[in-house]
Amino acid sequence: MTSPLDPDLTSAVQAFAAHPRVLVATDFDGVLAPLVLDPMDSRPVEGGMPALTDLAALPGVTVALVSGRALAPLRQLSEARDPLVLIGSHGVEDSRHTDGLALDEDQHALLETLAQEVEALAERHPGVRVEDKPAGRVVHTRGLPAQEGKDALAEAAALAERHTSLVVTPGKEVVELAVAHVGKGAALLALADDLDADAVFYAGDDLTDEHGFAALADDTDTARAGRRLTVRVGDGETRAGFRVADEEAVVELLVALVAARRSAGRSVSPAPDRSTAGG
């Protein structure tokens, strides 16, 4: 494992911190908070949210939590406050917007059907936990015997074969079925564009975060792509440029980023806000 104190990562942090306008974004579960059986029992490790709050207070820095969680529980569990930006439901929800999630009539009808079928699935597989989201349902199997969990996830995936407009997002012992989806990669690039960011930092641990790493690497703004700082938390194949061991290592990394940014002494004009209130 690469340590947050690894010389290459330390150098990358210092180079990133020197850019005028930066976006610092992280996933929540598995990055700021350990993975737990019940998603609502999740809590950030000590020091992570304060470090992000410190970063958000520095000139030219925007901080965002980019999560598969719905916006309301993400705000509740992280206790994030303005000016931190919250991107929920894999990009479908954005705390900068005031009108919530917009679904058309067909999507509302499909969501109702999905809710009923996932509830029936959970009844067939006691121990499965179902997370309600504004645009879908998430089936969690963490803690179940391996075969039982595999069977439950297979049934969840089969729902998408019956309802072909559903978007399926698999993860670690979890699968999300959504009637609307943006994706972390698209959400990160859209936010970077809105902020006119010169460089983007992103830390994640899951399959959905790999979409974010890939999108940042393939950014059509090639200069910004070259300045990215991406960090995979934990094991697994990755397109991230660096790796750290766990949530505590993420805290060390964020603290180092705060110190580097302060040392850089950046003072820049606020980035133009291209987001549309209510949109």
Same-domain check for residues 214 and 76: yes
pLDDT in tens, 137-146: 999 999 999 9
In a domain, 247, yes or no: yes
Residue 50, pLDDT > 60, answer: yes
- Does one domain contain both 198 and 61? yes
Residue 117: CATH number of its domain:
3.30.70.1020
**Shared domain check, 86 and 20:** yes
Question: Does 171 lie in the same domain as 34?
Answer: no
Q: 95 with 192, same domain?
A: yes
The pLDDT value given to residue 151: 95
What average pLDDT score do residues 166-176 get? 90
Provide the CB-side half-sphere exposure for 2 (13 A, CA): 18
Q: Any idea what the CATH number is for the domain that residue 29 is in?
A: 3.40.50.1000
Instruction: Decide if 27 is inside a domain.
Output: yes
What span, in angstroms and rounded, lies between the C-alpha atoms of 69 and 61?
A: 23
pLDDT digits (tens, 9 = 90+) for 180-229: 878 899 999 999 999 999 999 999 999 999 999 999 999 999 999 999 99
**Is 269 a domain residue?**
no
Q: How many residues comprise the chain? A: 279
Tokens of 255: 């603290």
Residue 276 in domain: no
pLDDT band of 59, cuts 50, 70, 90: very high
| Residues 245, 234 contacting (CB under 8 angstroms) | yes
Residues 149 and 201 reside in one and the same domain: no
Tell me the residue range of the domain where 119 lies.
105-178
Assess whether 168 and 214 both reside in one domain: no
Please indicate, yes or no, whether residues 163 and 239 belong to a single structural domain of this protein.
no
Q: Is there a single domain that holds both residue 174 and residue 217?
A: no
**pLDDT given at position 269:** 44
Count structural domains, the chain.
2
Residue 234 has pLDDT above 90, yes or no: yes
pLDDT of residue 7: 92
Strand order of the sheet with strand 174-178?
A: 129-133, 136-140, 174-178, 167-171
Reported as a pLDDT band with limits 50, 70 and 90, residue 159 is very high
Confidence of residue 1 (pLDDT cuts 50, 70, 90): very low
Examine residue 219 and state whether it is found in any structural domain, yes or no.
Answer: yes
Of 56-65, 126-135, 255-264, the poorest mean pLDDT is in 126-135
Q: What pLDDT, on a 0 to 100 scale, did the predictor assign at position 99?
A: 58
Distance CA 117, CA 112 (A): 9
Does a structural domain hold residue 237?
yes
